[in-house]
Structure 1
Amino acid sequence: MVDLIFHGGVGEIGGNKILLKDGDTRVFIDFGKNFEKERLFFDQPYLAPREEKHLLSLGILPDIPGLYRKEEATSDVGF
């Protein structure tokens, strides 16, 4: 059975994260950034985070196991 799992973008503008799941196969068919969560921490003219480990630690990107490269993703980042 094929499942569509929505990790974001429902009831908001931007931030679409749609996972297509069929057995052991998983494919993201859309992966957007949540602009509202990002604005809680950063807005122009301030410097916005660029690395995925920073976006993960702030909750701007979802922490979904197996989605990110391990050498890039970490949630124990200090500022």
Structure 2
Amino acid sequence: MRLLYFAWVRETIGTGEEEVRPPEAVRTVADLIDWLRGCSDAHARAFADITRLRAAVDQRFVALDSELGAAREVAVFPPVTGG
């Protein structure tokens, strides 16, 4: 699974993307974020407050409790605001 990170999430982790193979128990976006917290101290800092995150699965915005299914790409980013 390809992960894409944007804005301060990318800056905190130190990379804009990575390939991962989460365990079968990871079924939702929230599960994925929880699992990623254990990957490094930087991941733990970036994903410490899940309420500050949004996600897209295969380029479609989704709620964090959405199932991953056979997702090939997950993007994680802060809420987007505009003017």
User: TM-score higher than 0.5 here?
Assistant: no
- Normalising by the residue count of structure 2, what TM-score does the alignment of the two structures yield? 0.25
Higher RCO, Cα 8 Å, sep 6+: 2
Q: Larger radius of gyration, structure 1 or 2? A: 1
Q: From the two aligned structures, give the one with the greater helix fraction.
A: 2
